[in-house]
Structure 1
Amino acid sequence: MGDGDSSARGEDEVDFCTLGMFIIDDIEFEGSRPPVYGIIGGAGSFAVVGARMVAGKEHGKAVSWILDVGSDFPEDMMNIIQSWGTGCIIREDKERLTTRAWNGYGANEKRDFKYLTPKLRLEPSMLSHSQLFSKTFHMVCSSERCVNIVQEILHKRKSLQEHAPSLSASNPIFVWEPVPDRCTPEDQEKFLAACQMVDLVSPNELELGMMFGRPGWNAADEEDRELVRKILQSGIGLDRQGCLVIRAGKDGSYSYSKGRKGLWLPAYYQPQLGESSKVIDPTGAGNSFLGALVQGMISEGRQSHTLLDTTLTTSSHWDEIKTTWGNDGQVPKAMICATVAAGFVVEQIGVPSVSKAANGRETWNGTEFIERLRIYTQRLCKTLEQSSQSHDWLID
């Protein structure tokens, strides 16, 4: 039904699948800024937008998700979702309301959140066979639920492989966002255990600090850097070589992996360059960042990565970064894609709009994703070349 029902396309490969929900959002801001009601929201929706930007129109149907539609679902909202051209399974239930939620923003982009209607949580049992064999999975949940989701998906894949050996035997990439209200010292051990089940774990800087009883996290603080070392020592991923990705809003993002120097990337819009006025609303930017990040992890050889490979070779420091992170710079390149995708999301309240330019190419908010990718990467390379070493990206 609707936007590319994957159940009817069972043989298609899926690049990305989210277990995040679709939510109709109300947003209220501190101060005199007017509220906004009834817009597209939810971690799943924004993660899909991020993955879809990186995938491009050609691979759009490989970005898969489940959309639960209640009796009150607005028709204009459906038109927007269908314009994305994703592999979306639409489930309609006239006996319930669509999941709705309230978001309240205070100082320093601190967000409060509550559901206004009953939520309908997505479970691995709801995924189609093609979704179950996605190359990547995105989750937003508690530590316990993270462990259960990963175990169930891997178990189902193994069971299906026994009856159909032609199905992919390689493990997918799991990216996990811990839910903010479970980022507490009491949940710390559960958090560390869940980290060992996923390839990428990504709290924002406030959530990471809260997990260890601190007001936030700062890369310049030695005690905060010790928290990173503790997480890496405990291990991320089944091979203990996964990544901790800390989303830090206007300060960009930080990635850490055991045995490697950390990686810092500035945000697409940088306050020091006088670009703060272009940031309208951060809602969903972190989710889109991670959707784009994990899609970028499996996009080698496609247009986005071809451009990155060409542009990054202009930096004499890129080889050092690539050597440090290995796998032909897979993580740094995916982080660049993620940063650019998040830059589109903050430009308006709600999701960015996709359309076709006069030349037939796809644009988001009137600009091609690939063009912004080029601009941002060229700016990074220029910064690197103006320094004597790659410390602008690689950090201790």
Structure 2
Amino acid sequence: MFATLGMFIVDEFAFADKSGNPISKNVPPQIGGGGTYAAIGARIWLPPTRVGMIIDRGTDFPQSIQATLDEFGSDMWHYRDHPGKTTRALNSYRGDFRDFEYLTPRIRLTPRDLQGTRLERPNYLHFICSPTRAFTIMDEVQQVSDWNPTVIYEPIPDRCVPEELDALVQVLPRINILSPNADEAFGLLSMPLPVSRSGIEAACQRFLAFSHPPAAVIIRSGAMGACVAVVGQPIRWVDAFWSESHPDKIVDVTGAGNSFLGGLAAGLLLENGNILRATYYASVSASFVIEQQGLPKLSEAGDWNGDSPQRRLEQLNTSKVVV
């Protein structure tokens, strides 16, 4: 079982040109949230009964969104109704610049929220937060008897700053897999931009050089792929399924990193914990998310966006190079 403590968010949108003049675009509210995308990344490989997250459903919860979610399998969602509003956020675009702000109070999840649900004590646990809050979450995990999940930790972008590095070092002994993206890794380690392949490898080595490192560090690096560093093994790279040579396939990268980590957890389940092999599954999950705005489409035949995840996995195995 894979569960995420990431949030569900209803995303709203506003657009303006570079001068700040409003642009009228009829973009309806969309499903968002790092938890949602992580759950879909795992669902691409696993049946809905083996994937789960909690969704706090307010009085304004759109029926269209409810229907879309249930198309992926109603079993994967644990709904909690509450009298307030559903968590919403505004994505404001001014030219190429994107700003993000919450419109309602956030309802954060902790391991205690899983207790008493079918998601209690999952084998694989994913969460997104600051390093400081990660320590509190792991305290809760370790207070539950007979539960030793594989923990996949994704640092929240705006807290990937040098001031959080000490807190990260303190929580790393409790983490199995640390996975920032390249910019986040460089921010935590005070490394100069721009990112590069050699710099990403150096960042992996620095994380593993701490006195009590996680079992693995995977730095998600966009079109460059993913850098996989496992304790006691050489650093390896897994290519992105869609690279910059396929610009028509890269429509919207929102949620790609979250879905990558959901796919990683599914791969770990299906590959008996082999981290490198699981990263292939992660790359394929991200490929389905970036092909359109919003979530990918699941057909009754089990295809995603009209294609087979297994076919993409086999293609990645044969045509992509891991060095």
Q: Calculate the TM-score normalised by the size of structure 1.
A: 0.74
Aligned 8 A contact 1:293 1:338 in 2: yes
Aligned 8 A contact 2:217 2:229 in 1: yes
The answer to whether residue 291 in structure 2 is matched with residue 351 in structure 1 is: no
The alignment partner of 1:175 has SS state of: strand
2:308 matched residue in structure 1? 368
1:216-231 alignment to 2 at 5 Å? 216-221=194-199, 225-231=201-207
Q: Distance in 2 between matches of 1:254 and 1:31?
A: 36
Aligned 8 A contact 2:87 2:106 in 1: yes
Cα deviations by residue, 1:81-123 (Å, 9 ceiling, x for unpaired): 1111143211112x2111011235689x985422111111112
Cα deviations by residue, 1:208-254 (Å, 9 ceiling, x for unpaired): 11112333532224xx5443322101156xxx451111111111111
Distance change (3 Å), C-alpha of 1:245 and 1:103: farther
Distance change (3 Å), C-alpha of 1:341 and 1:101: same
The answer to whether residue 31 in structure 2 is matched with residue 49 in structure 1 is: no
Aligned 8 A contact 2:271 2:278 in 1: no
Aligned 8 A contact 2:2 2:52 in 1: yes
1:131 matched residue in structure 2? 119
Q: 2:281 aligns with which of 337, 349, 352?
A: 337
Consecutive unaligned residues in structure 2, runs of 5 or more: none
Q: Distance in 2 between matches of 1:140 and 1:29?
A: 27
Cα deviations by residue, 1:110-155 (Å, 9 ceiling, x for unpaired): 8542211111111222113442320000100011211211221221
The answer to whether residue 149 in structure 2 is matched with residue 149 in structure 1 is: no
1:90 matched residue in structure 2? 79
Q: Distance in 1 between matches of 2:51 and 2:302?
A: 16
The answer to whether residue 107 in structure 2 is matched with residue 120 in structure 1 is: yes
Distance change (3 Å), C-alpha of 1:64 and 1:230: same
Cα deviations by residue, 1:284-336 (Å, 9 ceiling, x for unpaired): 010000011012111138xxxxxxxxxxxxxxxxxxxxxxxxx7xx1121100
Between Structure 1 and Structure 2, the one with more helix by share is: 1
Q: Distance in 2 between matches of 1:110 and 1:196?
A: 37
Number of equivalent positions: 315
The alignment partner of 2:209 has SS state of: helix
Aligned 8 A contact 1:19 1:139 in 2: yes
Distance change (3 Å), C-alpha of 1:199 and 1:35: farther
Consecutive unaligned residues in structure 1, runs of 5 or more: 1-14, 162-168, 302-326, 384-392
1:184 matched residue in structure 2? 161
Q: Distance in 2 between matches of 1:136 and 1:104?
A: 34
The answer to whether residue 187 in structure 2 is matched with residue 234 in structure 1 is: no
Q: Distance in 1 between matches of 2:314 and 2:76?
A: 27
Q: Calculate the TM-score normalised by the size of structure 2.
A: 0.90
Q: Distance in 1 between matches of 2:33 and 2:135?
A: 21
Question: What's the Cα RMSD here?
Answer: 2.4
The alignment partner of 1:254 has SS state of: strand
Aligned 8 A contact 1:26 1:35 in 2: no
1:379-390 alignment to 2 at 5 Å? 379-380=319-320, 383=321
Aligned 8 A contact 1:50 1:341 in 2: yes
Aligned 8 A contact 1:233 1:258 in 2: no
The alignment partner of 2:45 has SS state of: helix
Identity, % of aligned positions? 32
The alignment partner of 1:340 has SS state of: helix
The answer to whether residue 213 in structure 2 is matched with residue 247 in structure 1 is: no
Q: 2:5 aligns with which of 8, 16, 19?
A: 19
Aligned 8 A contact 2:132 2:164 in 1: no
Distance change (3 Å), C-alpha of 1:36 and 1:252: farther
Q: Distance in 1 between matches of 2:60 and 2:319?
A: 45
Q: Which has the larger radius of gyration?
A: 1
Distance change (3 Å), C-alpha of 1:342 and 1:226: closer
Aligned 8 A contact 2:174 2:214 in 1: no
Distance change (3 Å), C-alpha of 1:231 and 1:28: farther
The alignment partner of 2:240 has SS state of: coil
Q: Distance in 2 between matches of 1:111 and 1:96?
A: 27
